[in-house]
Amino acid sequence: MASCKELMCQEGITNKKEAAAWLLKHHPDRGAEPTSVNVGQFSTCMGERVFCEPKPVSEKKATPEKVATVVASDDGEKSSIGRVFQRVRVSAARDVASAPVEPAYKPNRRQLECVRQVSNWSKIGPAQRFNKSRFSIEETDKLIPIASPKLEAMLQNIEALDKNDLAISGHTFKHFIFSDIKFLGYGAKIIASGFIARGFKPILRLDKSRIVVDVPAGGSKNFAVLSSTALWDSPFKHKLKKEVLDVYNARPDNIFGENCRFIILDSGFKEGIDLFDVKYVHLFEPLMTAADMTQALGRATRLCGQKGLEFIPNRGWPLFVYKYSQTIPELLRPAFKASALFDIALQLKGLDTRLHRVTKAINDVSILAAVDQPLTEEIHKSGLLPKLRIGKKTELVRTVNTMAMSGNVTRANLLGDKGRSALALEDEKLLALEDEKVLALEDDPCAPRVPKECIGTIVPFQASRLTMQTVVPSIITEASTLVYTVPASLATMTKGVPTTWFELRRYVLANFKKMSWDKQEIVNKCGQGGGAVQTRAQAAAALAAKAKKAAKTRKMDKKKAAAPKKGTRKGAPVVPKKGTKKAAAPVVEEPVFVEKKKKGPALKLIDYTPTQDFISSYFTVESPIKGMLLWHSVGTGKTCTAIALASRQFEPAGYTIMWVTRHTLKADIWKNVFDQVCHSTIAEEVREGRLLPEDVEKRQRSLYQQWIPPISYRQFSNIVQGKNPIFKVLQKRNGKADPLKKTLIIIDEAHKLYSSDFKGAEKPDVGAFYAALQNSYKISGQDSARVVLMSATPYNESPMELMSLLNLCREKDKALPEEFGAFVEKYMDADGNFTTDGLKTYMNDVAGQISYLNREADPSQFAQPIYASVEIPISTIDSVLEGDNSDILELRKDAADLLEEQRVLRDETILYLEHQIGLIQPALEAKLGECKTQFVGKAKDTKACQVRVTKRYKEALKLEERNLREARKRAEQITGEYEKTGKKIVRITVKARKSGLGMLTQQAQLEDRCKIGI
């Protein structure tokens, strides 16, 4: 007998209405034509509400069979997106795509700001502002558990961590607290108030009208705060920020926080700040985007930023990251329509429900499409590949260079009873299979050791045949299958410029393979930073001690002492004070921080990393692309990469070099050109022993013919609009038609172009910039401007920001979609998943434009984050009320019971009664037919039987209809009762709030100020 679902699908019945119509049409008592379907079984299935699920209507949602056909029908070159992953969507994992849930809250910026403030501290009063005269330590301390349970939890967590560290290490470690809020006293400032209330001491104080750094004695409880808004009515100046960071980052004086152990930052400082030797990070709010997380955490994950701490063998430097969030108590969830405050914030922000899925897909596919992906496999290996688990039937699978590979021979139950089910993708060895099974690979042109040049594709299989044990790349769904198929023949690379991602990948492997990263080892590459650096005072003291000792033990001729030996870099004569007799000057070893006569900085040659070497060799003036995005993590040397590229390729070709960066970072560019020699020409001169001018300005001037001094974003906007003197220089050099002709434009922190952080005069005019570039592309052709974009986080709130950046490097007719809907329409299905053709098209569209390097997972130089989530319920009125507390709890319970009763009526009782009523008429007709059959030829008995049956069924029908009316009436009544109960709760709580602390709870502020939960 067929199952209910099979029966319904056979007849095409997808809902109750269709089933009732079918039953009335095909019931034998209605004289219908005979049917092979068992009507009784059909009626039972209808009563159990089992129907055939409708098929997806979207044309872009392909079934596994259709996807397989598409892949199989392509030729080897087109279907092979290289030997990395290709995402293939398998619809069999879910019968029907779940419909998007209608959000409970509509986008509202004012409400969003209110919710985020309340999650930080319910309501700030004058007594909670530490930089105001009315600040009260006692009152603030009392309010912490009520106004900010999250702060209370963090303080308790810090106390527990300190106790544990003291017991294990004998000392405590440094902490970094980050708040994503920076307005109206919320964020870093209110956290600082809480710290002071609990006995911590700030290293900042007001001295008359000036903020100064004053480190209190006994620094284990000292903290610093960096605020984007004014402290003591004074702006937080750059010089003050530098002084604070000097104290916090001092080595070896403050490695363990001896002078300042805590630092609190708000969102205005999630870039441009380096924090050293941090062991604990506290993220006080859930961050809205992954880019925010990267930027905030990046403050404590700098290159060799933890070298003052102990390096743990085979682990590196662990960085413990605590992410704090707030939940809504069970009883309040129906009213608040959410289980967590962050869920409400996301809805109020108005993000598309598909945005998270689309963002992850675009992020991962863009990374896989990077031009240097085959060269960076070793450094990205740890987080790139999942583990696979083999089922009863699969293709022969092996691993080569961490890739899942397979031959073209299918074998049933490959592993037999061997029990080897987990396939580790960690080495290059063939899987430990039986010898005769391995022989099946002999027909494979790359067997048994597949070289890196072999190409492959991901073939869709049923999820039961080869499923993932863990999924690391988020573009690969659990229903996808990774099988690497080696084609029968390898197409040779065509001469000329590669035009597709596939061709470009093979071109890179063929020409730049020597620039690949080597296998990474977990060893300390930063050295010991604990006591290697001396302060100026220590260095001066060491010099004085050595000079005194040398004076006693040596007698040198004045003449000889006055003339230091040629060729030595160690002698430093001691100059006596005026009026004293000159004594012999001993030759002493000079400490690193001793002041010397002003001269040019010491030159330090930089060895290019493989990525720096590749970029400066790959992107040439002959390249067909107009620009590149260097998507490189912090600490990877983006600045040096761009300088190497400019000096190797574009400067010798006569290009003007224009560097655009934040105003505060302009001086850092020259540091990389000169102090740390990334400039290839200067590096060559240094190696050959040719001396550069000692004066820095003269050294800079030697490059001014082609290098325009670094400019800010706004200055560049003025240049392209003709409002800056540099515009005239460019116009004179390149002509009026295209002032940007043969100009290499390097933009640091490129994501800032589309950031909302800049306001007023700081904000760049991206429209004018784009127009100037398009003019150059159109007029100058191959000699047009070229663009290098650098960013560790090329998008913030939306991946469409990444498209906007890439479009700066593309001609207008080849632009990528910048609107969310248009992008999904071109490359994805309705649910935000890449289609097979869309994936291939997108990877070809961005081919050659992206370089991706992420060294954050390199434990030899970077701290490795270990995450922990801390969830704390919001403070409620019930938790602080005394008199009417029990009444409110009882009323809330009554309200919850009413909602549950209404749900049962609507979702169960009413539907059941409607179903029963629908069955009565067909059943009555069936019974009437039985009366005719039972009393054949007996009209009187037949009529009596039919009267009895009709009466009984009509009574049953009346009863069910009455029950249905009462159920519907009761459901409507509950709505009114629930509203009345809610009003009672409001009256009681309003009264309670006026009496004291109830008004200061997060629940009260969410309801009253934010209009949430009412």
- What does the pLDDT average to over 107-130? 90
Tens digit of each residue's pLDDT (9 = 90 or more) over 132-182? 888 999 999 989 999 999 999 999 999 999 999 999 999 999 999 999 888
* Inter-residue contact 757 to 713 (CB < 8 Å): no
> In the block, which residue shows the tokens 């409110």?
888
pLDDT of the residue at 414:
29
pLDDT of the residue at 52:
82
Does position 481 have pLDDT exceeding 70, yes or no? Answer: no
Does position 89 have pLDDT exceeding 90, yes or no? Answer: no
Closest CA to 386 of 469, 266, 290, 464: 469
Does position 83 have pLDDT exceeding 90, yes or no? Answer: no
Say how many residues make up the chain. Answer: 1014
- Omega of the bond leading into 252 within 30 degrees of 0 (cis): yes
d(CA 771, CA 722): 13
pLDDT cut 90: percent of the chain above it: 21
Does position 488 have pLDDT exceeding 70, yes or no? Answer: no
Tens digit of each residue's pLDDT (9 = 90 or more) over 756-789? 666 556 678 888 889 999 999 999 999 999 999 9
For residue 756, count other CB atoms closer than 10 A to its CB: 8
Architecture of the domain spanning 635-791: 3-Layer(aba) Sandwich (3.40)
* Inter-residue contact 282 to 242 (CB < 8 Å): no
Closest CA to 266 of 185, 179, 191, 207: 179
The residue among 20 and 415 whose pLDDT is bigger is: 20
User: Could you tell me where the beta strands, DSSP code E, fall in 856-992?
Assistant: 864-873
Report DSSP state, residue 649.
Answer: I
675 — pLDDT class (breaks 50, 70, 90):
low
| CA angle, residues 732, 646, 635, in degrees to nearest 5 | 135
d(CA 290, CA 287): 7
Tens digit of each residue's pLDDT (9 = 90 or more) over 223-271? 999 988 888 888 888 788 889 999 999 999 999 999 999 999 988 887 7
Out of 192-201, 702-711, 728-737, give the one with best mean pLDDT: 192-201
Mean pLDDT of the chain: 72
CATH topology of domain 109-349: Rossmann fold (3.40.50)
Does position 884 have pLDDT exceeding 80, yes or no? Answer: no
pLDDT of the residue at 542:
46
Does position 67 have pLDDT exceeding 70, yes or no? Answer: no
pLDDT of the residue at 379:
80
The residue among 936 and 96 whose pLDDT is bigger is: 936
Q: Is 620 left (phi over 0), alpha (psi -120 to 50) or beta?
A: beta
323 — pLDDT class (breaks 50, 70, 90):
very high
506 — pLDDT class (breaks 50, 70, 90):
confident
Does position 388 have pLDDT exceeding 50, yes or no? Answer: no
Please tell me the pTM assigned to this model: 0.60
Does position 367 have pLDDT exceeding 60, yes or no? Answer: yes
- What does the pLDDT average to over 5-34? 72
Report DSSP state, residue 338.
Answer: S
Between strands 393-400 and 403-412, the pairing is antiparallel
Does position 520 have pLDDT exceeding 80, yes or no? Answer: no
- DSSP-assigned states of every residue in 415-470: TTTS---EE--SSSSPP---HHHHGGGTTSTT-SS--TT----BPP--TTTEEESS
Does position 618 have pLDDT exceeding 80, yes or no? Answer: yes
pLDDT of the residue at 558:
43
Out of 188-202, 286-300, 504-518, 729-743, give the one with best mean pLDDT: 188-202
Alpha helices in 219-305 (DSSP H): 238-249, 290-297
3-state DSSP of 657-673: EEEECCHHHHHHHHHHH
pLDDT of the residue at 65:
31
The torsion of the CA quartet 528, 530, 531, 535, rounded to 10 degrees, works out to 120
d(CA 603, CA 675): 5
Q: Which amino acid is located at 935 in the chain?
A: F
Tens digit of each residue's pLDDT (9 = 90 or more) over 49-61? 777 876 543 333 3
d(CA 224, CA 338): 36
Tens digit of each residue's pLDDT (9 = 90 or more) over 790-828? 998 898 878 899 999 999 999 999 999 999 889 988 998
* Alpha-carbon distances, residue 975 vs 622, 674, 899, 901, 981 (angstroms): 72, 75, 8, 11, 10
For residue 54, count other CB atoms closer than 10 A to its CB: 11
> In the block, which residue shows the tokens 């880019």?
291
Between strands 388-390 and 174-178, the pairing is unpaired
What's the N-to-C CA distance of the chain in angstroms?
A: 53
